[in-house]
Amino acid sequence: MTISNWNGSNRCTPAAIVMRPRDPDELIAIVRDTAAYPSPVRAVVRAALAQRVDRDGRTASSDAFRKIGEPDPVTNTVTVGAGVRMIDLKTR
């Protein structure tokens, strides 16, 4: 399966895709299970997909990590999960 970043400018075809771990504990279990998911296991953040993901590697989708924290008015920052899309952040 080929995956791409948000605008399709970067694409890769990893050896295996670990589809959407639901929470940090599931992601940790995936990384620790080297028999089922041999190294390297790489996180894929669609907005920042690197140009190259090893074809012998495995990828873990960050799509389920969509938590958006409360904005900090002092620092003018907000902490978001790796699966948050810019449109979701903009409309909040």
pLDDT digits (tens, 9 = 90+) for 56-80: 667 788 888 889 999 999 999 999 9
Provide the mean pLDDT of the chain. Answer: 78
- Burial of 64: CB neighbours in 10 Å, binned 0-12, 13-18, 19+: middle
- Per cent of the chain over pLDDT 70 is 80
Q: What is the pLDDT of residues 14-25, one digit of tens each?
A: 777 776 788 889
CA 54, 83, 21 angle in degrees (round to 5)? 70
The pTM for the full model equals 0.62
State the pLDDT at residue 3. 74
Output 3 or 92, whichever has higher pLDDT: 3
Task: State the pLDDT at residue 47.
Answer: 56
